[in-house]
Chains A and B, each alone.
Chain A
Amino acid sequence: MPQPGAALLVVAVLLPVSAAAACFLAPRLARGIAVAVALGLASVVVLLAVELVAHGPLEYRVGGWGAPLGIDLRADGLTLFMLLAAALTGLPITVYGLAYFPASAAAGGFWPLWMLLWGALNALFLSGDAFNLYVTLELMGLSAVVLVALAGSVDALGGAMRYLLMTLTASLIYLLGVGLLYHQTGVLDLNLLGAALQGGAADALQGGAAALGPAWVALGLMCAALLVKSALFPLHFWLPPAHSSAPVPVSAALSGLVVKATVYLLLRLWLDVMPPGKEDLGTALGVLGAAAIVWGSVQALRQSELKLLVAYSTVAQLGYLFLPFAVEAAHAGVAWRGAAYFVLCHALAKTAMFMTVGNLQKLGGSARLGELRHVARQFPVSLAAFGIAGITIIGLPPSGGFLAKWLLLQASIGAGQWWLAVVVLAGGLLSAAYVFRVVGLAFVEDGSESAPARRSSAAEWITLAVALGTLALGFTAPPMLRVLEVGSPFGEPFGGALLWEPGGAP
């Protein structure tokens, strides 16, 4: 029997996908449709949150079939967090798109593809089936490739082509893994897969670990594919060209949401499917995450183009999402809560940063750091937004990023894994270096005549609003982390008190 609120899960997928078709068929109405759908999806997420808190995790059996044959849509607290990240960044990206893309038909390609991308993301977050996830990965990848190519420049076409080759190869490797896993277990549903493999682990204790070998080959293929798609160092080669050459709203969606969707999928496999004995894999992922933080930050410091700086910052910040894999099991839950909150904060902060780049490019004609010093003082609102978003990226209080990194620190110190704590802190320092490199420009007297003052545009105020959102996340954490507990995606309930809850830690 379907649960009363479960229809919301279908609406979250069906609404953007049918809007994509409508935008394609009626390009004149596309802008209006997109704004309506963005508002609609935001309200769906709010309703879903209320429903989840009241009734616990939701499940919808598509077509009434149910697992193992049918496909289930599921939502728990973690799913809701991802849907929320999509809605919180998707809404400003849509509004910013109105200002960024002219209303002409030639610029109309963005709207149907953006709706399709949003639908694919929501479907990915809600799917509980390894093969349906392959379909959503492909939908997401292909629409993202076309969105990158929309910019039309040689850089954008090259970036899109690299992205296409990467995403297709990775998807095929993922599909191979799914095929092998199905051969092993005879099921595709993630929960059933987990039950089969974790039951298999019990058998393996008697029959030798070799019994799980083939399953690990399949899981290894799926992991490798998802790591390429998540641009984990050293597999990040495709990300900077694709993310920096795309139109600005697209860059924001790619850096804020698309790369995290595959990390989310990896996390689902890690928590729900993988049998015990995965500690070495986790440590390896954590080490790569640490390397990504250092390497990406150093590269960001070396860039002369602001958009590439922001793109390399994404490579670095993604590293934080891989650190919890390495945290000892007893403390991993706290680290994962930090990472989930980090997804939300980073999505908003990166959106604000890319929007700043867009404002400087559109209104100032360039976003090269060298030339920026001459125009920086004309963009007080945009640069303020960049600085505020930087607070979250660096992880300073009172931003949401501070809270997320605090939880990561708490977990790694609690587990006695000091190297993780050092990486978290060093990453914060390095990101401070590249954020201040940009913000500092606003305070440079370049000696030339001061440029005429100009009115700040609507796009700039949107950018500032998004940046302020990252600060707001620093204050809304307690209720939001409570929603994250629905269905306890990380196993044991949250033990530690939150920093600024009554009676919390210092």
Chain B
Amino acid sequence: MTVAFLYALSGVALFVVAFHALVNRRHLLHKIMSLNVLGSGVFLVIGALARRAPTADPDPVPLALVITGIVVAVAATALGIVIMLRLQAATGRPELPPADRN
């Protein structure tokens, strides 16, 4: 088992834990943070795969994917928090309103 494989495996574990939290937590900040952890899991897998052989230099293209992904995650987190604050101001609770209000 190589180090890269270990990294990739922990990436998958992070992904699974975060997905569980994303679905089950009610607090929107928890959901937004779970998305960030989920993203980190994906980035860890892609980053770990960048080194194709134990001695070779890592391939820069996957790292470029990860950096772009991080930039998107930062912007999306900011957007998510703004919407959460608006929801809290409107309903008093940082949670999703019930889906079917009719």
How far apart are B74's CB and chain A's nearest CB, in angstroms? Answer: 12
| Chain B contacts with A in 73-102, Cβ cutoff 8 A | 73, 75-76, 79-80, 83-84, 86-87, 90-91, 96-97, 99, 101-102
What A residues does B45 contact at CB under 8 A? 176, 179-180
The answer on a CB contact under 8 Å between B22 and A164 is: no
The answer on a CB contact under 8 Å between B62 and A179 is: yes
Residue of B nearest to A179 (CB): B46
How far apart are B25's CB and chain A's nearest CB, in angstroms? Answer: 11
Contacts A149-B86, A154-B97, A157-B87 given: A164-B76 contact, CB under 8 Å?
yes
What A residues does B99 contact at CB under 8 A? 158, 162, 237, 241
The answer on a CB contact under 8 Å between B22 and A169 is: yes
What B residues does A172 contact at CB under 8 A? 35, 38-39, 42, 69
| Chain A contacts with B in 166-205, Cβ cutoff 8 A | 168-169, 171-173, 175-176, 178-180, 182-183, 188
Interface residue SS majority, chain A: helix
What is the 8 Å Cβ interface bit string for chain A, positions 140-167, against chain B (1 contact, 0 not)? 0010011001001011011011101100
What is the 8 Å Cβ interface bit string for chain B, positions 28-62, against chain A (1 contact, 0 not)? 10010001001100100110010010000000011
The yes or no answer to A304 lying at the interface (CB within 8 A) is: yes
How far apart are B78's CB and chain A's nearest CB, in angstroms? Answer: 10
| Chain A contacts with B in 125-146, Cβ cutoff 8 A | 131, 134-135, 138, 142, 145-146
What is the 8 Å Cβ interface bit string for chain B, positions 1-42, against chain A (1 contact, 0 not)? 000000000000001000100100000100100010011001
Q: Please, how many angstroms separate the alpha-carbon atoms of A188 and B19 in the complex?
A: 27
The yes or no answer to A305 lying at the interface (CB within 8 A) is: yes
Contacts A145-B79, A162-B96, A168-B76 given: A176-B102 contact, CB under 8 Å?
no
Q: Please, how many angstroms separate the alpha-carbon atoms of A182 and B62 in the complex?
A: 8
List 13 A-B pairs, Cβ < 8 Å.
A131-B65, A152-B86, A154-B90, A157-B97, A161-B84, A168-B39, A172-B42, A176-B15, A176-B45, A179-B46, A179-B65, A188-B61, A237-B99
